[in-house]
């Protein structure tokens, strides 16, 4: 009984749970994978058996076609299931459509793997739902006391002050739909044009009954009209290839400072927790042991010195 120090271990394929013989968001093909959400640094193709939420399976099938996985078994949030002797429940992570935190219970101990998560409001996905756990395995992408994300509504309203056409770079999955919805709600005079690689994901969200607001497919002729206040939503690769778009203001929607074009045209909208929201999450989950992945766990170690035991499991990102 008690917390197993080897409940989750890191090997070459990724994070492995020997008690259930499965991986969490494995980086290489494995026999059994639990996938927290469909972003491609978490959801890789080619696994034999995948456990995830229904939207995550749909997005993986859209992106990877036949290679998505041999077999998908999907569960909604709060539905309890078992892999070997580990009892598993998905809880909404508030990150993108279908994103889940994975609660694993074994011999009376609860282990919670967050995947990516956020606390900020986002009407394009279910809000985060907390649950208590003895052990928290959390992403620490922005675990730095200086990283405090601004209010996304105030950020998006800045677009109203720009009279030129705007090109916004955003990740095609999750961020693009959130930005589309925010602009529709808070910048009613703007018209949104969507890059063709983002369209299939927009349509998938709509098919899942998510209101992502108004948009139309990109059309070069429309964008040439500089008096119409168009916003062209493009994925990162396209954004990078248009360094000098004429009569167009470029902005990149991200929590990362180094991805902002300049101070004037910044758009700090993040789908990850900032420092305050990580602390709030720890307060809600009440773990006695924390493992950190993706980022710098050492700031948390410093903050909770002598209070909560914090181990850095992976700082690869
Ligand atoms: Zn993600
Ligand atoms: Zn991620």
Q: Are 311 and 6 in contact (CB under 8 A)?
A: no
Domain with CATH 3.60.15.10 in the chain: 9-145+272-314
CATH number of the domain at 152-259, please?
3.40.50.10710
Ligand that comes closest to the CA of residue 118:
1
Q: Ligand 1 center to residue 227 CA distance, Å?
A: 36
Q: Are 72 and 57 spatial neighbours (Cβ–Cβ below 8 Å)?
A: yes
Å from CA of 222 to ligand 2 middle: 34
Helices (H), 226-316: 236-241, 275-285, 298-303
Provide the pLDDT for residue 111: 98
Q: How far is the CA of 117 from the centre of ligand 1 (A)?
A: 8
| pLDDT, tens digit, 9 for 90 and up, residues 43-76 | 999 999 999 999 999 999 999 999 999 999 999 9
Predicted confidence (pLDDT) per residue in 151-206, tens digit? 999 999 999 999 999 999 999 999 999 999 999 999 999 999 999 999 999 999 99
In the reported structure, the alpha carbon of residue 135 is separated from the centroid of ligand 2 by a whole-number distance in angstroms of 20
**Helix axis angle, 54-64 relative to 199-207, nearest 10°?**
150
In the reported structure, the alpha carbon of residue 161 is separated from the centroid of ligand 1 by a whole-number distance in angstroms of: 30
pLDDT at 310 over 90: yes
Tell how far the Cα of 125 is from the centroid of ligand 2, in angstroms: 16
Please tell me the distance between residue 38's alpha carbon and the centre of ligand 2 in angstroms: 9
Q: Which CATH architecture has domain 9-145+272-314?
A: 4-Layer Sandwich (3.60)
CA 97 to chain CA mean position, Å: 9
| Alpha-carbon span 188 to 182, nearest angstrom | 10
Instruction: Find the ligand nearest to 117 CA.
Output: 1
Q: How far is the CA of 307 from the centre of ligand 2 (A)?
A: 27
Minimum mean pLDDT among 30-34, 43-47, 116-120, 290-294: which range? 290-294
**Whether the predicted pLDDT of 317 surpasses 70:** no
Cα(41) to centroid(ligand 1), Å: 7
pLDDT above 90 covers a percentage of the chain that reads 88
Give every strand in the sheet of 109-113, ordered side by side: 80-83, 86-92, 100-106, 109-113, 135-140, 289-295, 309-314
Residues of the chain with CATH 3.40.50.10710: 152-259
Q: For residue 117, report the distance from its CA to the centre of ligand 2, in Å.
A: 9
The tens digit of pLDDT for each residue in 201-224 reads 999 999 999 999 999 999 888 777
| Ligand in closest contact with the CA of 95 | 1
Could you give the CA distance from residue 211 to residue 18 in angstroms, rounded to a whole number?
A: 40
- Indicate the pTM of the whole model: 0.96
Centre of ligand 2 from the C-alpha of residue 248, in Å:
30
């Amino acid at each position: 009984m008690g917390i197993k120090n080897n409940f989750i271990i890191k090997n070459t394929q990724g994070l492995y749970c020997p008690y259930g013989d499965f991986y969490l968001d494995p980086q290489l093909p494995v026999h059994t994978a639990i996938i927290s959400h469909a972003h491609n640094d978490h959801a890789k193709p080619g696994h034999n058996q995948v456990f995830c939420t229904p939207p995550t399976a749909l997005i993986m099938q859209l992106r990877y076609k036949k290679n998505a996985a041999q077999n998908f078994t999907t569960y909604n949030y709060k539905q309890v299931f078992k892999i070997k002797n580990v009892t598993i429940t998905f809880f909404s992570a508030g990150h993108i459509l279908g994103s889940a935190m994975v609660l694993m219970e074994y011999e009376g101990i609860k282990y919670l793997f967050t995947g990516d998560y956020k606390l900020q409001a986002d009407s394009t996905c279910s809000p985060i739902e907390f649950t208590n756990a003895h052990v928290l395995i959390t992403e620490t992408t922005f675990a730095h006391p200086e990283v405090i994300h601004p209010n996304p509504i105030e950020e998006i309203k800045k677009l109203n002050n720009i009279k030129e056409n705007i090109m916004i770079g955003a990740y095609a999955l999750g961020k693009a739909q959130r930005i589309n919805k925010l602009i529709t709600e808070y910048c009613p005079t703007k018209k949104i044009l969507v890059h063709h690689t983002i369209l299939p994901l927009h349509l998938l969200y709509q098919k899942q009954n998510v209101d992502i607001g108004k948009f139309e497919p990109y059309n070069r002729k429309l964008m040439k009209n500089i008096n119409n206040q168009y916003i062209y939503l493009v994925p990162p690769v396209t954004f990078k290839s248009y360094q000098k778009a004429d009569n167009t203001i470029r902005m990149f929607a991200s929590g990362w400072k180094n991805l902002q074009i300049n101070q004037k045209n910044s758009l700090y909208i993040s789908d990850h927790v900032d420092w305050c929201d990580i602390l709030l999450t720890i307060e809600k989950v009440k773990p006695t042991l924390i493992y950190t992945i993706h980022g710098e766990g050492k700031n948390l170690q410093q903050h909770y010195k002598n209070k909560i035991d914090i181990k850095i499991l992976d700082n690869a990102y």
